[in-house]
Amino acid sequence: MSAGDWVVQRQALDLVIQRPEGLYCPAGDFYIDPWRPVDRAVITHAHADHARTGHKHYLAHADAQGVMRTRLGAINMQPLAYGEEVLHNGVRISLHPAGHVLGSSQVRLEFGGQVWVASGDYKVAADATCAPFEPVRCDTFITESTFGLPIYRWQDDADIFAQINAWWAANAAIGKASVLCCYSFGKAQRILSGIDASIGTIITHGAVEPLNHAYRAAGVALPETRTVSEVTDKEDFKRCLVLCPPSATGTPWIKRFEPYSDAFASGWMLLRGARRRGGYDRGFVLSDHADWPGLHSAIRATQASRVIVTHGSVPVMVRYLQEQGLQAGSFQTEYGDENLEEKPLITGAESAQAATDLIVEESKR
């Protein structure tokens, strides 16, 4: 058998392959989080780099429905509950919690005696705003690797929320607003779920507030938030917490809160280069993705013998997994490091150098 024949045979056995439109299931004739318009798309979650416009039919978790319709408009969407199965062209499809954001799902595919799971984006830490990550046993696991470097190890959420509350309270005590930049979908609502709302008024940007409504409609408890137009007493600005996307900085909208202290909540804030480039007063290390230990605990829990790594620190992850005795490879995707709304504040070179420094340090122990 020639090398070309082997590749064809290998692909014939694979439940998911790469195509220009995205990750494709040949047996089922559908795509998972495609980046170009297709007839049938299974969507892991509603971030803009995974849920895009132009598909004829969408399948996603029911809790993602409100956010997807808010962002994509009128779409032909089939909602599915976690664990509910649908059979399409002989492929058994079910969705399982990914713990990333509201309605985020891993996609389980079963066909011809094989089980594959596409993780989408995920985290294993507890989060009051979405269902917790559920390990799903499979033969092949397609995993993200956004923070797939040993340097990325997160603190408990309670510690981060305590830091945010202390920063907000200190600013409020001197009559200064606290502007906290964060991603509009997922991160903003997670912060809202953990902060002390008694410190002052919470004001959200116009990009954040519609998503708050979608979360509340899905039964997620969030404290009261206001838009700028709903604040009648300007004294509230002196004690408020403002949640807005990073793109709001430097705009006329943000100037009304002067004087203010600003901060950014992101996993990228772990690295000094990212904090310095952003120019924020503070950086809070809070990510909706799994850290290095979380990624590998999730992979082990699947008991998969084959792992395919997508977006993020792919070469490092693949090499590490191969050293652990797994069959590991990669897919090239067009997913962002967090999502398409905002760009990370760290370059690939800086991230790789940070990982190298840490590996050298650990080798000396």
| pLDDT at residue number 337 | 57
How confident is the model over 220-248, as a mean pLDDT?
A: 93
| pLDDT at residue number 102 | 97
pLDDT at residue 342 greater than cutoff 90: no
Residue, of 235 and 35, whose pLDDT is higher:
35
Closest to 309 (Cα-Cα) out of 123, 136, 140: 140
Cα–Cα distance between 25 and 108 in angstroms, integer? 12
What are 99-143's pLDDT values in tens digits?
999 999 999 999 999 999 999 999 999 999 999 999 999 999 999
What does each C-alpha distance from 65 to 76, 149, 184, 351 come to in angstroms? 11, 33, 17, 35
pLDDT at residue 352 greater than cutoff 80: no
What are 300-323's pLDDT values in tens digits?
999 999 999 999 999 999 999 999
Calculate helix-pair angle for 292-302, 314-323, nearest 10 degrees. Answer: 50
DSSP sequence for 256-317: TT-SEEEEEESGGGGSHHHHHHHT-SEEE---SS--HHHHHHHHHHHT-SEEEEEEESHHHH
Residue, of 81 and 11, whose pLDDT is higher:
81
Contact yes or no for 313/351 (Cβ under 8 A): yes
Domains and CATH numbers, the chain: 10-152+288-363 (3.60.15.10), 157-284 (3.40.50.10710)
In the chain, the amino acid numbered 335 is Y
The pLDDT-based confidence of 353 (bands split at 50, 70, 90) is low
Q: How many CB atoms are closer than 10 A to CB 278?
A: 20
The pLDDT-based confidence of 279 (bands split at 50, 70, 90) is confident
Cβ neighbours for 336, distance < 8 A, ≥ 6 positions apart: 47, 48, 49, 311, 343
The pLDDT-based confidence of 360 (bands split at 50, 70, 90) is very low
pLDDT at residue 14 greater than cutoff 80: yes
What does each C-alpha distance from 185 to 170, 190, 203, 231, 293 come to in angstroms? 27, 9, 15, 23, 25
| H or E segment to which residue 111 belongs | strand 105-111
pLDDT at residue 10 greater than cutoff 60: no
The pLDDT-based confidence of 277 (bands split at 50, 70, 90) is low
How confident is the model over 262-273, as a mean pLDDT?
A: 90
pLDDT at residue 4 greater than cutoff 80: no
